[in-house]
Amino acid sequence: MEKCKDIFRSLVRSKTGLIGFIIIVTFLLVALTSSVITPYDPFEMVLRDKLLPPAWAAGGASRHLLGTDQLGRDLLSRLIYGSRVSLGVALAGTLAAATVGILLGALAGYYGKMVDTVIGRIMDIQLSFPFILLAIFIVALFGSGLRNITLVAAISGWVRFARVVRGEIMSIKESEYVEAIRSLGGKDFRIIFQHILPNVVSPVIVIATLELAKVVLMEASLSFLGMGLPVDIPTWGRMLSDSRDFMQTAPHLTVFPGLMICLVVLGVNMFGDWLRDYLDPKLDTNQ
Amino acid sequence: MSRYIVKRMLQSVIVLLGVTAVVFFALNLTGDPVTFMFPIDTPIEVLEEYRATSGMNDPKLIQYGRFLWGALHGDFGTSHYYNQPAMQVVLERLPATFLLAFTAFLLALVIAIPTGILSAVKRNSVLDSIVRFFSMLGQCVPIFWLGLLLMLLFSVKLKWLPTIGSGTWKHLIMPTLTLAPGTAASITRLLRSGMLDVLGQDYIMVARAKGIHNGPLILKHAFKNSLSSVLTVLGLQLASLMGGSLITENIFAWPGVGQLMYNSILNRDFMVVEAGVCLIASFFVFVNLAVDILYAVINPRVRFE
Amino acid sequence: MDRDTVLSIESLTVDFRTKFGVANAVDKVSFSLARGERLGIVGESGSGKSVICKAILQLLPDYANISGAIKYEGRDISHYSNRQMYGIRGKEISMIFQEPMTSLNPLYTIGNQLIETIVLHQHLSKAEAEQRAIEMLKLVSIPQADERLKQYPFELSGGMRQRVMIAMALSCNPNILIADEPTTALDVTIQAQILELVRDLNQKLSTALILITHDLGVVAETVENVMVMYAGQMVEYGPVRAIFHQTMHPYTKGLLNAIPKVELEGQTLESIPGTVPSIFEMPKGCRFHTRCKHKREICTQRCPELCDCGGGHQVKCWMYSEEWSK
């Protein structure tokens, strides 16, 4: 209980952390209640009302607060629905990246030598591919869709988790603390679980938060290029891509979806930064 | 020093081998490449004949060996889409990407270096807070959104700049402005944290105690030291711009390697994809190597170890 | 005074503004330094001895508040601007620090860092500066001086680096050299060498010396006068012989008793009970009273006044005031 108060106090003191937290919670709530709060069905096309500007602009209607797209679909509803999609994909992707990363990092750190070298080389090879190229490469090979986007997220994101876990394990493995336990007869496996894992939890949480933001961006980028989720699912990236044809007549279609992406990523990053400062200030998150 | 260079070069070679292997096997193991190279209704006999003559019935490893040998000579086969040697197609697009990447990088440096230094020197001031906010913002704004917004403002509304394409310096402006902020933000953050680290060191206090003026103190003593820690990442940023300008090229129809990769992947033009990816990866590896060597030159300690 | 005063500190107080409140690090300290004099400032960590010297050169962080006067050759430099301080630091007053291993910039040669100072303050040409640098290295007994110039800091041992620091500090003939725990980070044998070097140079060049240390043993052989600091205040001041043989303040006595001596073999080593009070919660009255076995009520109420006991020996303790014997 005391810890909760302490966390809360620290969060409130950091203005950016607080704003980030509020943004995240807002989007989470919106995503969770999306089926209830959307004013219209995101898929409902009313061609009569197509390309309406936002309610405050000339020609807008108050029934469509943010206007409509080229097929008469209400923009606000689609944005709300899109938050569900984005956050869902982000969570799945981050989880996948974390799992793969922790596993490989643990193997590399614990067994060291050959295993470590091989995994290290794989990291190097992977880092030689620019991120976006890697992403579309994979999508082109395996197809688009949620499962494959999660795969892309896992492949492009595991390295940071692996590095941290490997580092922690290696430093603890050699520490006198562990040597003392070993000399007293403690078993290796238990050592890992009881002593190493708790140390790993904080940096992993921080990296996972920051990775979440990256996955949101990645999914949006892929959807923008037409290589993300299936066409009929409204995601912010795809909405942006579609808006290109209507920039002259309906700029609101370009502004708002991108704004959503930007806000979510900003919020998660702000919160992630505060989280890092609170849990593990020495963590290098700039790799 | 030379032992260090040799070691790094060996590592680079291994990485490059790995890259070529990944590219080759990934493309070849996920579906038959031959079927994509021809129109859908091509009779099977034609495909079979092609397979036999182009050596595609041989064991994969032999094919890989052939591929590797060709790659070393710059021969990646012929693009079935452009009917030219694949590597040539890629090389033709290289200058455009170079131009964009370098210009964006330079702009980013011009913005980031003074900002990062000042932000660290005047820590916790109003300037520092503003800088930190904008550098975070720069890393959060999606590139494609920024590009479209710029297009909306400068092309559609103000009509100052041409929307897409290349050819004049006017065409270069928006793509550069789209790519630069993200990189500038990263570099600023890095430089700021590097400088803060250095400014807390003993030798900076000693230099002040010697009477060194603030200017030379920051530039000669602090900046050079923080630069050496930032250099590796700077190199990566440049390489990343080279390969990652795909989206920007796509938005502005900039005829670079990224756009080529995108189209070739859609067109299943595997030869070109292989050539392009290998080239970009090689560039990455090369930049990494160069940066590591540069680091050794600047930091005398690394040379002796 | 047979020698004229080069530095005069008058009622110097240093406070730090922190988010936990205002911390007082130095409380109304006064002393003076004559030309060529060797003064030792002794005290535990946190006694404020380093803060005084950093205040002299204005090397304290922004959140430090300095009040009182710091008079160098008659001019009050405590309110000098940074620009004005450029002419003092390294040129009139030099300082060397505790950690030789991290005091030199790892990316530049020794020569570069030596010449930098010389060129800055003495406006010599590069060749002349190089000559002077070699002279200084020879002065601090570094062999093969001209080769050393081209070496990097990591190629030198701790003791050598400290010698280079001394050479750098003295290269422009300052009037005062402040040495902040110059030997704490070095091996005992090197310690002795460095202290001897510093003493020699003081006599050769008539540079006044302020030697800061927590080790009374170090000052015994090196300085003429000693100032003992506790919790930001000066508690005793006097010629080194008087401090050692006619010790007055209980704290100083405690410090002396804590030095292991061969003659006392077999006896328990005395230590001063308790700990230094927190910088945010200084006790009322005499700051040492919480650990003093002679304390009386007046000690807990009022801060002791300075008592001059003759022969340049001063102490701040109620035991030596008139009220005590009543």
What's residue B4's pLDDT?
Answer: 77
What's residue A262's pLDDT?
Answer: 93
Residue B57 has pLDDT above 80, yes or no: no
Residue C1 has pLDDT above 50, yes or no: no
DSSP string, chain A: -HHHHHHHHHHHHSHHHHHHHHHHHHHHHHHHTHHHH-SS-TT---GGGTTPPPTTSTT--TTSTT-B-TTS-BHHHHHHHHHHHHHHHHHHHHHHHHHHHHHHHHHHHHH-HHHHHHHHHHHHHHHTS-HHHHHHHHHHHH--SHHHHHHHHHHHHHHHHHHHHHHHHHHHHTSHHHHHHHHTT--HHHHIIIIIHHHHHHHHHHHHHHHHHHHHHHHHHHHHTT-SS-TTS--HHHHHHHHGGGTTT-THHHHHHHHHHHHHHHHHHHHHHHHHHHH-TT-----
A232-264 burial, b for 16+ CB within 10 Å, e for fewer?
A: ebbbbbbbbbbbeebbeebbbbbbbbbebbbeb
Cα separation, A69 vs A233, in Å, equals: 14
Exposed, middle or buried, A173 (CB in 10 Å: 0-12/13-18/19+)?
middle
Q: Mind telling me how many Å the CA of C107 is from chain B's nearest CA?
A: 6
Task: Please tell me if residue C102 touches chain B, with a CB cutoff of 8 Å.
Answer: yes
Nearest residue to A156 via CA among A206, A201, A222: A222
Report strand pairing: C75-76 vs C225-230.
unpaired
Say which range, A282-286, C122-126, C282-286, has the weakest mean pLDDT. Answer: A282-286
The CA dihedral of B91, B96, B102, B107, to the nearest 10 degrees, is -170
- Nearest CB among B145, B243, B280 relative to A240 is that of B145
Average pLDDT over residues C260-272: 71
- Nearest CB among C82, C154, C168 relative to B301 is that of C154
- Nearest CB among B203, B210, B224 relative to C117 is that of B210
Kindly identify which residue of chain B lies nearest to residue C150, measuring between CA atoms: B300
Binned at pLDDT 50, 70 and 90, residue B30 comes out as low
Nearest residue to B79 via CA among B242, B257, B267, B250: B267
Residue B99 has pLDDT above 60, yes or no: yes
Fold held by B93-256 = MetI-like fold (1.10.3720)
Binned at pLDDT 50, 70 and 90, residue C2 comes out as low
Please report the ipTM that was assigned to this predicted complex: 0.85
Residue of B36, B144, B146 to mutate for A, most A C-beta atoms under 10 A: B144
Amino acid at B250: N
What's residue A91's pLDDT?
Answer: 92
A88 versus A112: the higher-pLDDT residue is A88
Domain boundaries, chain B: 93-256
Contacts with B, C 243-302, CB within 8 Å: none
A85 versus B30: the higher-pLDDT residue is A85
User: pLDDT for A114-144, tens place per residue?
Assistant: 888 888 888 888 877 777 777 877 777 777 7
Longest dimension (CA), chain B: 85
Say which range, B35-44, B88-97, B271-280, has the weakest mean pLDDT. Answer: B35-44
Cα separation, A164 vs A168, in Å, equals: 6
Chain B residues with CB-CB distance to C87 below 8 A? 211
Task: Please tell me if residue C81 touches chain B, with a CB cutoff of 8 Å.
Answer: no
Alpha-carbon Rg of chain C, whole angstroms?
Answer: 21
Nearest residue to B105 via CA among B190, B176, B168, B192: B176
Length of chain A: 287
Tokens for C58? 């204005």
Residue A286 has pLDDT above 60, yes or no: no
Residue B19 has pLDDT above 50, yes or no: yes
Subunits with 3+ C-beta pairs closer than 8 A to C: B
pTM for the model = 0.83
The answer to whether A and B touch (≥3 CB pairs < 8 Å) is yes
Chain A residues with CB-CB distance to B250 below 8 A? 225
Residue A188 has pLDDT above 50, yes or no: yes
Q: Mind telling me how many Å the CA of C102 is from chain B's nearest CA?
A: 6
Residue of B146, B148, B153 to mutate for A, most A C-beta atoms under 10 A: B148
Residue B302 has pLDDT above 70, yes or no: no
Q: Kindly give, in sequence order, each residue whose CB lies less than 8 Å from that of residue C35, ignoring residues fewer than 6 positions away.
A: C3, C4, C5, C6, C175, C206, C208
Q: Are A249 and A233 in contact (CB under 8 A)?
A: no
Binned at pLDDT 50, 70 and 90, residue A287 comes out as very low
Binned at pLDDT 50, 70 and 90, residue A164 comes out as confident
- Nearest CB among C89, C99, C105 relative to B209 is that of C89
User: pLDDT for B182-218, tens place per residue?
Assistant: 999 999 998 998 899 899 889 999 999 998 898 888 8
User: pLDDT for C16-49, tens place per residue?
Assistant: 988 778 888 998 999 999 998 999 999 888 888 8
Chain B residues with CB-CB distance to C86 below 8 A? 211, 213
Q: Kindly give, in sequence order, each residue whose CB lies less than 8 Å from that of residue A166, ignoring residues fewer than 6 positions away.
A: A105, A106, A108, A109, A116, A119
Q: Mind telling me how many Å the CA of B281 is from chain A's nearest CA?
A: 5
Chain A residues with CB-CB distance to B140 below 8 A? 213, 262, 265-266, 269
Residue B75 has pLDDT above 60, yes or no: yes
Match 């614990």 to its residue by tokens: A110
Alpha-carbon Rg of chain B, whole angstroms?
Answer: 24
The answer to whether C and A touch (≥3 CB pairs < 8 Å) is no
* Average pLDDT over all residues of chain A: 83
What's residue C229's pLDDT?
Answer: 92
Length of chain B: 305
Binned at pLDDT 50, 70 and 90, residue B36 comes out as low
C260 versus B219: the higher-pLDDT residue is B219
What's residue C95's pLDDT?
Answer: 93
Chain B residues with CB-CB distance to A249 below 8 A? none
Residue of C83, C95, C103, C170 to mutate for B, most B C-beta atoms under 10 A: C103
The answer to whether C and B touch (≥3 CB pairs < 8 Å) is yes
Helix (H) or strand (E) holding C179: strand C176-180
Task: Please tell me if residue A218 touches chain B, with a CB cutoff of 8 Å.
Answer: no
User: pLDDT for B132-188, tens place per residue?
Assistant: 999 999 989 999 999 999 998 888 888 888 878 777 888 888 999 999 999 999 999
Cα separation, B211 vs B225, in Å, equals: 19
Cα separation, C113 vs C167, in Å, equals: 11
Q: Mind telling me how many Å the CA of C241 is from chain B's nearest CA?
A: 32
A283 versus B17: the higher-pLDDT residue is B17
Cα separation, B33 vs B54, in Å, equals: 12
Average pLDDT over residues C249-266: 78
Amino acid at A220: A
Tokens for A228? 């993300």
Cα separation, A121 vs A135, in Å, equals: 20
Residue B37 has pLDDT above 70, yes or no: no
Binned at pLDDT 50, 70 and 90, residue C239 comes out as very high
User: pLDDT for A1-43, tens place per residue?
Assistant: 777 787 888 787 778 888 999 999 999 998 888 888 888 887 8
